[in-house]
Structure 1
Amino acid sequence: MSRMMPARVRSEGISLYAAGLLSDPVEADFKLSAEIEGEQVIYDLDGAQDFCSCSIFQQNHRYCKHIAAVEEYLKK
């Protein structure tokens, strides 16, 4: 399930999750939607098409600290 992302980005996501900044997670149609730091995140549980409204994800279309926070949530 884990996406390839730099360790720094992953640790930032773990910190966001630990700080309780992931709110209102909703799972439907094999996707988990949540809001983190005001950014909208859609995590595709099939691994096909993740989305985050933040500028980092918009640049690389693969990962960001918000996606990493959702992954940490899913581990718990």
Structure 2
Amino acid sequence: MSKDKLTAIGQALYGTQWQSDLARALNIDSRRVRQWLNDERGLPDWLEGELNRLLTDKITLCQSLLDIAKQQTNQ
């Protein structure tokens, strides 16, 4: 995984405050995310799997909300 991919996923999930929000979702200190981005620490092996899980959860939530909106429109 690259820092660019981490940034893109973080922004897609959490918008402009993505670093702090991502750290909270991963249950880590937000300084760790900044260390990854500043090449002070390497990206851990587990990160990509966790990001995939967070993306899947967000997609599922958005799809559920869309389904509810469609149901309300059809009533």
Q: Same fold (TM over 0.5)?
A: no
Report the TM-score when normalising by structure 1. Answer: 0.29
Structure 1 or 2: more helix by fraction: 2
- Report the structure number with the largest CA radius of gyration: 2
Structure 1 or 2: more strand by fraction: 1
